[in-house]
A and B are shown apart, each in its own frame.
Chain A
């Protein structure tokens, strides 16, 4: 396999993993709060969270760039700690996170909603505080939704094209490489990578199926 493909795969998979991990860390508490608490504008917040799923991904890319480019206020702070967004690995992560996090949050949220609150009530009376209850009862019971949420989020991040074209065409990610090979060398040149990505897609879907069957 040529080095360019290997590098693109590595970039894509690690960036997607970073995006999925960030979604897990920041999305889990948010999903739990959305599942358990009622507050003002909760519906509005939930709707707005799904906006990235409803816009063309080139537009999503523009939005990420607007918010994080090096002359924006957030971008300036990030660049001070050495994180550049344009044409960088972190740009890929951010773009992926923006388009895939809503998927994780809604999966985790529905997982938490399905856990009967009475389990948590009993755990509390038995001496477990909020955190112990969450980690010994709620999370294990919502585990399947969390895991499948992470996998779908990761897969969605891997498959991202539009936002990456805008935010970070370099370093080259695998989906962009497919386009490049196709445009430069024609259909047959794109087939090997296409086959590889297809295979990965099949594995992901089968894994999800296995988790939900258990």
Chain B
């Protein structure tokens, strides 16, 4: 029974142990047309998860339902999946054109139709000028596009992208993110994209799952997870630098006053007792004077270290607790900040994640 509303991909209690990697009881649903990001640190089992979906490995237990069909033990060639591995794996013994046309050739399409479809898709993906090139002559970004074309030409039910941006330099990364959004608008595919970078999750993902040690810890909209990590692990790898233990010592309605061991902050939470607090470094504003601003939390501190954290400048500030703050270079210069300077840290109640 096929319904439009049923999820395209369902993982049911999926478990697998392979070499040093593990997938533990993963349950996940990817909706039709959705761009789904799986985010986790290196070694979390993200690649293994994709390979289970692709059929490169079979799970030890659990089920994989793709388009309402149980594909758990189907070989990869019978799943209709587009797979772009981390190193792209373009076939080095073929031209760009033959790489893209491979899936059609294997299916026995006539030569002229392969040629026509390769040209059509290549022009949509703006890589038609690369068709006659050798794979070894392509830049990272070009390889990425060719690998996408090769996966998309078979019109797969789902596109699997393994850290598609990690091998690229930062400028190309942003370009490829925009490119992915654009071709998605154009072709309307469903994708599962794994990454360790929360910027990709926020920028590209309709929804995301946070994965750690083979387990899915949290599923939701990327901003929701980044801003409200459900536990310490999620917060630690979604980029939350300022992670503290604390205790709710007073509250007025939703507004709780939390003691972090001498330093007190205000947060909007229903929790009480011992809690964890995370404040994202880019959500903290630096002030030179204790001005009247809307931010409820204002802490006094001394700058201990200033370092590059492209695209930001990272400040380490002792405010009773070690805080990390990200600023733009402009802000740093405008405020004339240097090591040893006394400053105020300001952040909103909503910038404080409590769990």
Contacts and interface: CB of A to CB of B under 8 A. Distances in A.
B55 interface: yes
Interface size, A (range): 10 to 19
Contact of A127 (B56, B87, B107): B107
Contact of B79 (A122, A125, A132, A140): A125
Contact of B106 (A116, A119, A121, A127): A127
A127 B80 CA distance: 7
B76 A121 contact: yes
Given A126-B102, A141-B92, A121 B83 contact: yes
Contacts, number: 64
A136 B91 CA distance: 10
B228 to A, nearest CB: 36
B77 A122 contact: no
A208 interface: no
B89 A121 contact: yes
A129 B93 contact: no
A141 B89 CA distance: 12
Nearest to B102: A126
Interface in B73-100: 75-77, 79, 81-83, 85, 87, 89, 91-93
A121 B81 CA distance: 11
Contacts of B56: 121, 124-125
B83 A129 contact: no
B150 interface: yes
Contacts of A123: 91, 102, 106
Interface string B31-53: 00000000000000000000100
Interface string B167-190: 000000000000000000000000
B77 A124 contact: yes
B54 interface: yes
A136 B85 contact: no
B337 interface: no
Contact of B77 (A128, A136, A140): A128
Contact of B85 (A118, A127, A140): A118
Contact of A125 (B83, B92, B107): B83
Interface of A: 116, 118-119, 121-129, 132, 136-137, 140-141
Interface of B: 51, 54-56, 75-77, 79, 81-83, 85, 87, 89, 91-93, 102-103, 106-107, 150-151, 154, 156
Nearest first, the 5 A-B pairs at minimum CB distance are A126-B103, A124-B76, A125-B83, A118-B89, A127-B106
